[in-house]
Structure 1
Amino acid sequence: MKTVLITGANKSIGFETARQLLQQGYYVYLGSRDAQKGQQAADQLRADGLDQVEPVVIDVDDPSSINAARAAIGQKTPVLDVLINNAGIHGSMPQTSLETDSRAFRQVFDTNFFGVIDVTQAFIDLLRQSPAPRIVNVTSGLGSLTLHSDPTWKYHAVKPTSYVASKAALNAYTIVLAHDLRDTAFKVNAVDPGYTATDFNNHSGPGTVPDAAARVVKAATLDADGPTGQFYSDDNSPETGISPW
């Protein structure tokens, strides 16, 4: 049975990603900052007959919490097949380039960027034990510098500066990580789940959570012929499914 760790999985897209992977036969370590919320999410999945799930406390902003999660999972399995870096924050609004305090930038980067690096590095040894390891970094179309430079893009005017910068940085890390692992069985990709109706945006997005999660799951379950180092986005590039960086 393949194993997967999903950060920020107690609700919304992360929770639905867990559900869909459980339905495909994966054993899911359901990551959550809050132990109670994680347990409630796992109990809900078990109530639906999806019992190969275990909550794991992991706060991606806290290295000690990441290390504790690594130790806990390492005691249960010598192999991790998939890591989905899903946890993310938007940051307080409004966000402008000239008025947003640098401390606000750091707060968003701690979760959306540095947290991904810390989690990936903490679990890379378990991932290396898998014959087909997959890393999925959940990003946003707002992280595309090419699209932000295009005045005809549908989201051109949407520029929450710290969030945009953090996701652009995450995309850059994804490119380099995929390059560093290019001669291995790893597949490392960034996935934009699309503008989805969740608590993250006060349910303003037109997309559905199941559709968004399916995009993440697709990258998590790529076969040996699948690509690596890509930026998937059905929302911004419906024809190809690949977004410009």
Structure 2
Amino acid sequence: MTTTLITGASKGLGHETARQLVAAGHTVYVGARDADRGQQAADRLGARFVQIDVTDDASVAAAVKQIEADGGLDVLVNNAGIEERTPDGGFVAAADVTADSVRTAFETNVFGLVRVTHAFLPLLQRSAAPVVVNVSSGLGLTRDLADPTAPASFYPGIAYPASKAAVNMITVQLAKAFPGIRINAADPGFTATDLNYHTGTQTVEQGAESIVRLARIGQDGPTGGFYDAAGPVAW
């Protein structure tokens, strides 16, 4: 039985990823900051719940202890993420971007990912087939945002794409450092979730496809790559 932890899994892509992996036979931990919403999501899905705030060392350490006591971990899906927006849901103008606003996005999207991965490494290294999936974004591709003919070039935000570019680099470097773990990044595409105020053009079922596929790879699967629903994406 494969045991999987998904951070930020009480709703959106994380919730749908959990649903699909439960259906595939995984024992899934729904990771969430909010205990009530997380437990309700786990109950709906037939999953387990673990409270985890990826921005808090003590919370992450407690989650490690809980999952270790239950038997360990095979797959980690780093899904928790935030996007900087104005109170009315608009994009933050470049002139209004501050170090603090960028730091807020990085605290969850980058530092949280590193914090959780580092904390769970000992458990993953005990697994016979350890896997890490980092949920990234096509917005992390500098070449696309710099190309005025690319669909992603319209995106005006700074902190979110910068954080996902960092996720991509972290994925590559971790994959080289830990060849025994399959470590990849997933681009779910423009999916309608609370993150983008449901403006995405894909359903969560479609968006979760690349994440679920990477979560289910075996020890002979790829590592150090970036994948969307259609397959490999050039960094």
Find out whether 1:170 has 2:167 as its counterpart. yes
Deviation at 1:244, TM superposition (A): 2.6
Aligned to 1:33: 33
Give the TM-score taking structure 1 as reference length.
0.91
Find out whether 1:55 has 2:45 as its counterpart. no
Aligned to 1:8: 8
CA distance in 1: counterparts of 2:124 and 2:54, whole angstroms? 18
CA distance in 1: counterparts of 2:200 and 2:119, whole angstroms? 33
Aligned to 2:83: 90
Deviation at 1:101, TM superposition (A): 1.0
Deviation at 1:149, TM superposition (A): 2.1
Would the aligned equivalents of 1:95 and 1:162 in 2 still touch at CA under 8 Å?
A: no
Find out whether 1:72 has 2:71 as its counterpart. no
Give the share of equivalent positions with the same residue, in percent. 47
Deviation at 1:148, TM superposition (A): 1.7
Whichever residue aligns with residue 56 of structure 1, its letter is V
CA distance in 1: counterparts of 2:16 and 2:169, whole angstroms? 26
Deviation at 1:152, TM superposition (A): 1.3
Whichever residue aligns with residue 85 of structure 2, its letter is S
Would the aligned equivalents of 1:147 and 1:244 in 2 still touch at CA under 8 Å?
A: no
Aligned to 2:233: 243
SS at match of 2:166: helix
CA distance in 2: counterparts of 1:43 and 1:25, whole angstroms? 16
Equivalent residue in structure 2 for 1:102, among 99, 102, 118: 99
SS at match of 1:195: coil
Would the aligned equivalents of 1:178 and 1:188 in 2 still touch at CA under 8 Å?
A: yes
Aligned pair count? 231
Poorly superposed stretches of 4+, deviation over 6 Å? none
RMSD: 1.2
Higher helix residue share: 2
Deviation at 1:128, TM superposition (A): 0.6
Give the TM-score taking structure 2 as reference length.
0.95
CA deviation profile, 1:63-120 (whole Å, cap 9, x unmatched): 111011111111111x311000000000223334443011010000000000000000
Deviation at 1:199, TM superposition (A): 1.2
Whichever residue aligns with residue 39 of structure 1, its letter is Q
CA distance in 1: counterparts of 2:234 and 2:26, whole angstroms? 31
**1:244/1:146 CA distance change after superposition, 3 Å:** farther
